[in-house]
Structure 1
Amino acid sequence: MKLDNNNHSVFLLCYHLVLVVKYRRKVFSDQMSQYAKDIFVRIGSSYNVTLEEWNHDQDHVHIMFRAHPNTEMSKFINAYKSASSRLIKKDFPEVRRKLW
C-alpha cells in the first residue's frame, strides 16, 4: 500500500467498518449497495476519506477505507449513516416495508 503524507508526517490509516441492517433483515440488493457506495464516496470526499474496498451481503456491508489523521471519524460515520439511511428509505420504498 502507498503511504499518505501531508506537510509534516507520513501515515497510513486504514479502517474496516461493518454496517448491519436493523434486525439483520435481508434487504440489500446490488443496486442498493451501489447507491450506498456512491453516497459513501460523495460524503467521504469532504472528510478526506478514500474508499478502498466495498463488499455487501443481503444483511450487511463491509467497507475498507483510508483516512487522514485530522479526520473526525465519529462525525464522518454519523454523517454517512444519517444520509444513507434517509436517502435509501426515500429512493427504495420496499426497504421501509421490509423493516417495519
Structure 2
Amino acid sequence: MKLDNNNHSVFSLYYHLVLVVKYRRPVIDDTISDYAKDMFVRLGKNYNISLVEWNHDMDHVHILFKAHPNSELSKFINAYKSASSRLIKKHFPQVKRKLWKEYFWSRSFCLLTTGGAPIEGIKKYIENQGMK
C-alpha cells in the first residue's frame, strides 16, 4: 500500500462521497457531470483534497477522493455543494425547469471511509455506476 505524507504524518485517507440531486430529479448529463467534476478538482486543491474517481447517474454522483489529515471535509463538502449548485444553475438554465428553488443538491450527503477496502474495487464500483 502506498502511503501519503506531509511534514508531520504518514497517512492513507480515501473517502467515497455520494451527492444526490434535490428531489432526486434526473438532471445530470455528461456535460453537467464534467462541469461539476472540474469544480470539485479546482476547489479540492484549497482543502488538500484530490479526486481519484468520478461517475454519475442522472440523479446523483459518486466520488472517490483522497485527503490529508488536516482537510476539513464537512467544510469542503458544504463549500463545494454551495458553489456548484449556484454555478450549475447559472450555466445550465435547463436545470431550472426541474429544480425551481435555489438548491441543486440535497441537503444530506453520504460520506464513507474506504475502511481498507481495495481502492481498485471501489474505483471499479464507481466506474460502473449508471450502467444498466
Give the letter aligned to residue 89 of structure 2. K
Higher fraction of helix: 1
Corresponding residue of 1:47: 47
Q: CA separation in 2, counterparts of 1:35 and 1:28?
A: 10
Q: CA separation in 2, counterparts of 1:9 and 1:79?
A: 26
Matched, 1:23 2:23: yes
Deviations 1:23-45 (A, max 9, x none): 11110000000000000000001
Corresponding residue of 1:57: 57
Matched, 1:82 2:74: no
Deviations 1:14-62 (A, max 9, x none): 0110000111111000000000000000000111000000010000000
Shift of 1:2: 2.5
Structure 1 length-normalised TM:
0.96
Corresponding residue of 2:11: 11
Q: CA separation in 2, counterparts of 1:8 and 1:81?
A: 30
SS state at 1:89 partner = helix
Corresponding residue of 2:95: 95
Corresponding residue of 2:2: 2
Q: Which runs of 4+ in 1 moved over 2 A?
A: none
Shift of 1:8: 2.1
Q: Flag structure 2 segments of 5+ consecutive residues without an equivalent.
A: 101-132
Corresponding residue of 1:67: 67
Q: CA separation in 2, counterparts of 1:2 and 1:62?
A: 23
Q: Flag structure 1 segments of 5+ consecutive residues without an equivalent.
A: none
Higher fraction of strand: 1
Q: CA separation in 2, counterparts of 1:27 and 1:2?
A: 37
Corresponding residue of 2:34: 34
